[in-house]
Amino acid sequence: MKEKKKQEDATLNEAKTLYGRRTDLALEVRESFPEDDVEIKGVILTKEEVEDKDIMVTTLEIKDKHGETAMGKPMGTYITIEAPRLNEDDETYHRPLSNEVAKYVKKLAGGLENKSVLIVGLGNREVTPDALGPQVVDNLFVTRHLIREFGDEFKEKHQMESVSAISPGVMGQTGMESGEILAGIISETKPDLVIAIDALAARSVERLNRTIQITNTGINPGAGVGNNRKALNKESLGIEVIALGVPTVVDALTIVSDHLENCLAKQGFSEKEIAMFIQETNDTAMRSMFVTPKSIDESIKQISYTISEALNQCFCGCLIS
Amino acid sequence: MKEKKKQEDATLNEAKTLYGRRTDLALEVRESFPEDDVEIKGVILTKEEVEDKDIMVTTLEIKDKHGETAMGKPMGTYITIEAPRLNEDDETYHRPLSNEVAKYVKKLAGGLENKSVLIVGLGNREVTPDALGPQVVDNLFVTRHLIREFGDEFKEKHQMESVSAISPGVMGQTGMESGEILAGIISETKPDLVIAIDALAARSVERLNRTIQITNTGINPGAGVGNNRKALNKESLGIEVIALGVPTVVDALTIVSDHLENCLAKQGFSEKEIAMFIQETNDTAMRSMFVTPKSIDESIKQISYTISEALNQCFCGCLIS
Amino acid sequence: MKEKKKQEDATLNEAKTLYGRRTDLALEVRESFPEDDVEIKGVILTKEEVEDKDIMVTTLEIKDKHGETAMGKPMGTYITIEAPRLNEDDETYHRPLSNEVAKYVKKLAGGLENKSVLIVGLGNREVTPDALGPQVVDNLFVTRHLIREFGDEFKEKHQMESVSAISPGVMGQTGMESGEILAGIISETKPDLVIAIDALAARSVERLNRTIQITNTGINPGAGVGNNRKALNKESLGIEVIALGVPTVVDALTIVSDHLENCLAKQGFSEKEIAMFIQETNDTAMRSMFVTPKSIDESIKQISYTISEALNQCFCGCLIS
Amino acid sequence: MKEKKKQEDATLNEAKTLYGRRTDLALEVRESFPEDDVEIKGVILTKEEVEDKDIMVTTLEIKDKHGETAMGKPMGTYITIEAPRLNEDDETYHRPLSNEVAKYVKKLAGGLENKSVLIVGLGNREVTPDALGPQVVDNLFVTRHLIREFGDEFKEKHQMESVSAISPGVMGQTGMESGEILAGIISETKPDLVIAIDALAARSVERLNRTIQITNTGINPGAGVGNNRKALNKESLGIEVIALGVPTVVDALTIVSDHLENCLAKQGFSEKEIAMFIQETNDTAMRSMFVTPKSIDESIKQISYTISEALNQCFCGCLIS
């Protein structure tokens, strides 16, 4: 009987996906399974609280093909840092948070010593919730040109690694895919590692501007506010790609579908019926719409500052506070 | 029997309002009445198409208290210019559109000759869909200081009126209401007329970035992306206020409620039941969320340019093309 | 004989002023007198080093009319904080520097407790070296609207004073003098104190982005990058005005005149001859030009952050680190 | 005797160069020769006025090694468009000006039909006089992604060529040379032609924001506000590079040296003496300073709009007005 339920779930999940439910957070995919406390084969989940800091870290590992299929996300490690006060202006909260972010970036990279890194600010600087990546890059301390000019002695004296950075813009601005621009820059400047910063879409408005996801799987199609179409990962770029994202929007269709489902479920409709009703409300104008908080400007400013501080301390020993 | 229907409508409308349905467009309020083709007492509606231009102009006049109550908007004239290609980059479309906007601004002002005007760009420059007002002001040709320096001869030679302009910012940035800032500036610089530019909330995503509303009633509580709390009108500021707005967002709660209603109505639920269900889904996090298109940056740039061209030609004869 | 020298100095100073030598720094005016170590009647100068911090504080008091005439600046106190590393990105330097700035703002204001303050970011946001004021305002924590909404209990709980803020723009953008806009806002919102932030002109390029001047005399004609024409001081605005400025430009004519003078003096020309030669090189196109460093973007970002931190800690006890 | 004069000139020119005299305008180099009306071997100069338009076009061709050495610029064609009203807001002036710019870009490219072009906005978006390139790119109509998605039929229907665009930022922001970033993007996206937009340094303040230089020699070391160190030309990038620049700054050292020279020459000093005096005034702080007009924000906005209009009409037949 449970088998039958699972089949129905699969159908339902398919319908959900077809009619616009979308999240870039692996943790939200995991939560969407009804058997919340049952293990999914190939997927390992561990939670850890940062003591006294109101920060929760969840590590989700997708270990094999089965996990990939169940989750709809590529194999790899997904760190989710839930920080309810991420968009508040309180330095005593942001400093330990920066430390956590730095710690997990280093961990996923397998150490950063003597690695040259290219940090990429994805997204559109002109659309507030999509400006996270460019704003992080604006606050970075880049060093590659200094090390090339002043040599290894300078590098060691300041305990710095080689950091370069770029905000390539979005396809509507450049006529090029971010992947093309980055592939070119990588082949020319030969970094060891890419760290890509991007604004993500969550499923729930409660997660917006309160969650940081760090993964060693890179950026995959469908991710981000602006929906990059080409993957940015080891396969496409030839070097490790760590993606660091914060959900800043919910797709409009997702929010509508979720509310419809809740409401109809309360009225006793079956999942099948609900999926059908949702399908009917499908609205093409909504496909290009997103939902974001009115105070998104303050949140982006605060969060981008915290992330750039984390990255600066990853790569420059002299900046560790 | 019709009476009873009306009472039920009133209750329903109240429920709709309570649960977040909101529009700043008088035209959408009018359309929300079931009896679309029946006259509402105290409200006069006329439509006119601009020949060969794909531009439709609707004039809605609220003549008396009855009209005010029915519409939930103050007495006055509301011009709605529907321009389906408003957010496209096509100069041959925008030039006649600018002319229409200029024509109706002049008409609502009862002529502009020898009037000094203060143009106000309301909204938050840092949140893309709310940046319409500040971006219009950025492109204005201001003249007040020139006329004060070079005198009336200069004014007449260039056929210009006195134009001053300000983008006061939003309360979260200034700690002050826009109304306080403007009242102060008006008492000090004594313009004859205020023209306030603001980003509005529509009920339907199809209207976003395709509609311009011009009204002689000013800005009233609840209007705009950022929800100014104090009115900006003749009563509060002491001089005529023409408000020129473009809907750039839909409130998140409005979009969800509308979709729920459509879906439930199709399932045969009564209006009463629907209103109740909607009430239940009420979601506090959503109250501070808005829906906007992904390409909002291009739209705001294009539309603000068209509006500032319209205003520039209103006040400077030498700029009429 | 010394008398005669003084007369000649006076003539020379006049010539210098006529031919464009300009500084907004009282300290530079003081230094321009030949008798550097002799007292000027009515002017008191004291220097103090902040221990171990590479920060030097000079207090210059103009006590009477004689001092006013000699200095060409109004009576009052001028604090000059010389901070050679002001435009470097080093938190361990900026934190004590913020504390010093906060200390002297409080001192010049005669305490800040229970005073409501309007902070004004003068200058043009679109011209990098003139954007200091607007960028400081962008980073302020404003509280006036919160205190008005949540009351005195809230104010006391968070140990905050009422702070409002505005960046009025420059006359070319608004058609209005900053003084008109501020007079209006003050009469409407009734603050007890104005703190005006402005980018200044220095005489020497070495001082650029390394000096902070704080004065209780307000802003006076000729000051600032954009040359406000109307004073912003107690006389014109009716309340105390503390001006906080950082030199970010040198007038082009000043830099040329100073170099000419140095060079010609070395060739043995008399001061009179030099003044005459300088007069001849007078160049109208240069009058609207300024000199600024190529890295002005980084400096403005760094310095505005340090000043806004200083002001935030002045007005919000909970933010003191 | 003339020979001797020439030798002295050469020595003087060397001194001038050593002590900071700099211009990116080939026309200004040509004017710096005393024999203004005598031909320089290997350099051809022709002037043409655009009828009734207050626009003057000078074509300077450097034909051989001798011309290269005399001019200190690489072989190729340099078009200088002198447009005294370039920074005024007058559409009736800018439209024919855009047409001229488009005409010469096409001419230098040897036609644009079926060429795919990468337009590059060089310079620092955060420093107003250096933001010309990025602001031009912000207003471009890019098409490469559209043509790739909708095919050749779409391209032909709209008479458009493939346009991509990027503002790579400056080395202090990215840690990479513009040349590295562009070489990578070119090898990945394979355009036929680069058009690089850059803010230039002039020698005379009168030329600022009034001159457009278009050349088929690309960008060469020392050019631009930010002093790119690597050439961007056919040799370094492998494809044709057309550079389009507008002088927006004068180097501070240049302005001082020129004024000193004028003044000292009037006093009867010999060129040798003058060169020596100038050498003595050499000032390291000044090396990183530039001179620019106070109204640079308005000029950059106006000029970048005119240039982007010119480029848009080069590549999209449907946009020709």
**Exposed, middle or buried by CB within 10 Å (0-12, 13-18, 19+), for D65?**
exposed
Predicted complex ipTM:
0.90
**pLDDT value, residue C281:** 66
Q: Which of D89, D140, D304, D313 has the highest number of chain B CBs within 10 A, making it the mutation to test binding with B? A: D89
Single-letter amino acid, residue C107: K
Comparing CB atoms, the residue among B124, B255, B281 nearest residue A252 is: B255
| Span A44-61, pLDDT tens digits | 999 999 988 899 999 999
Q: Is D141 on the interface with B (CB under 8 A)?
A: yes
The Cα D232–Cα B199 span in angstroms is 44
- Provide the residue count of chain A: 321
Interface subset of A 161-180, CB within 8 angstroms of C: none
DSSP helix/strand/coil, D159:
coil
Per-residue confidence at B229, pLDDT binned at 50, 70, 90? low
Give residue limits of the domains in chain D: 2-319
Comparing CB atoms, the residue among A277, A290, A297 nearest residue B292 is: A290
DSSP helix/strand/coil, C194:
strand
Are B159 and B140 a contacting pair, CB within 8 Å? Answer: no
Listed in sequence order, the residues at least 6 apart from C93 whose beta carbon sits closer than 8 Å to its beta carbon are C53, C54, C83, C85
The Cα A116–Cα A300 span in angstroms is 27
**pLDDT value, residue A190:** 98
**pLDDT value, residue C284:** 75
Mean pLDDT of A196-219: 95
**pLDDT value, residue D185:** 98
CB atoms within 10 A of CB C165: 27
Percent of all residues in chain A with a pLDDT value above 90, rounded to a whole number? 64
> From B320, which residue of chain D is nearest by alpha-carbon distance?
D91
Q: Is B275 on the interface with A (CB under 8 A)?
A: no
For chain A, the chains sharing at least 3 beta-carbon pairs closer than 8 angstroms are B, C, D
For chain D, the chains sharing at least 3 beta-carbon pairs closer than 8 angstroms are A, B, C
Comparing CB atoms, the residue among A89, A141, A321 nearest residue C141 is: A89
Lowest mean pLDDT among A155-159, C12-16, C191-195: C12-16
Mean pLDDT of B283-305: 90
| Chain D residues inside the 8 Å CB shell of B141 | 89
Helix runs in A25-116, H state only: 26-31, 65-71, 91-108
Q: Which of B124, B289, B300 has the highest number of chain A CBs within 10 A, making it the mutation to test binding with A? A: B289
Q: Is A110 on the interface with D (CB under 8 A)?
A: no
Chain D: nearest CA to C45, how far in angstroms? 28
Mean pLDDT of C2-8: 51
CB atoms within 10 A of CB B155: 17
Bigger pLDDT: A6 or C279? C279
Comparing CB atoms, the residue among D89, D91, D141 nearest residue B89 is: D141
Listed in sequence order, the residues at least 6 apart from B308 whose beta carbon sits closer than 8 Å to its beta carbon are B136, B137, B138, B139, B140
Mean per-residue pLDDT of chain A:
87
| Chain A residues inside the 8 Å CB shell of D189 | 176, 180, 184
Q: Is A297 on the interface with C (CB under 8 A)?
A: no
Comparing CB atoms, the residue among C252, C277, C295 nearest residue D291 is: C252
Q: Is D305 on the interface with B (CB under 8 A)?
A: no
The Cα D182–Cα D197 span in angstroms is 13
**pLDDT value, residue D15:** 42
Chain C: nearest CA to B37, how far in angstroms? 45
The Cα C118–Cα C114 span in angstroms is 13
Chain C: nearest CA to A240, how far in angstroms? 30
| Chain A residues inside the 8 Å CB shell of C91 | 321
**Exposed, middle or buried by CB within 10 Å (0-12, 13-18, 19+), for C10?**
exposed
Chain A: nearest CA to C276, how far in angstroms? 47
DSSP helix/strand/coil, D291:
strand
Per-residue confidence at C38, pLDDT binned at 50, 70, 90? low
The Cα A27–Cα B49 span in angstroms is 52
Contact A91 C321 (CB under 8 A): yes
The Cα D144–Cα A177 span in angstroms is 10
**Exposed, middle or buried by CB within 10 Å (0-12, 13-18, 19+), for D235?**
exposed
Q: Is D321 on the interface with B (CB under 8 A)?
A: yes
Q: Is D138 on the interface with C (CB under 8 A)?
A: no
Are C201 and C23 a contacting pair, CB within 8 Å? Answer: yes
Contact B169 C169 (CB under 8 A): no
Q: Is A14 on the interface with B (CB under 8 A)?
A: no
Contact D185 A189 (CB under 8 A): no
| Chain C residues inside the 8 Å CB shell of B174 | 142, 164-166
Are D258 and D232 a contacting pair, CB within 8 Å? Answer: no
Listed in sequence order, the residues at least 6 apart from A42 whose beta carbon sits closer than 8 Å to its beta carbon are A62, A63, A64, A65, A66, A67, A68, A70
The maximal CA–CA distance of chain C, rounded, in angstroms, is 71
| Chain C residues inside the 8 Å CB shell of B172 | 142, 145
Q: What is the pTM of this model?
A: 0.92
**pLDDT value, residue C224:** 61
Are A53 and A96 a contacting pair, CB within 8 Å? Answer: yes
Determine the Cα angle at A264 with ends A263 and A270, to 5°: 145
Are A321 and A96 a contacting pair, CB within 8 Å? Answer: no
- Whether residue B242 is predicted with pLDDT greater than 90 in this model: the reply is yes
Per-residue confidence at B11, pLDDT binned at 50, 70, 90? very low
> From D117, which residue of chain A is nearest by alpha-carbon distance?
A175
Chain C: nearest CA to D60, how far in angstroms? 27
Q: Is C181 on the interface with B (CB under 8 A)?
A: yes
| Span B284-293, pLDDT tens digits | 778 789 999 9
Write out the DSSP string of D80-147: EEE-TTTTS--HHHHHHHHHHHHHHHHHHHT--TT--EEEEE-S-TTSGGG-HHHHHHHT----HHHH
Comparing CB atoms, the residue among C171, C173, C184 nearest residue B188 is: C184
- CATH topology assigned to domain C2-319: Rossmann fold (3.40.50)
Mean pLDDT of B273-290: 78
Percent of all residues in chain C with a pLDDT value above 70, rounded to a whole number? 87
| Span C106-125, pLDDT tens digits | 999 999 999 999 999 999 99
Comparing CB atoms, the residue among B124, B128, B291 nearest residue A127 is: B128
**pLDDT value, residue D12:** 45
Bigger pLDDT: D285 or B269? B269
**pLDDT value, residue B6:** 52
Q: Is D255 on the interface with C (CB under 8 A)?
A: yes
| Span B181-199, pLDDT tens digits | 999 999 999 999 999 999 9
The Cα D203–Cα A64 span in angstroms is 66
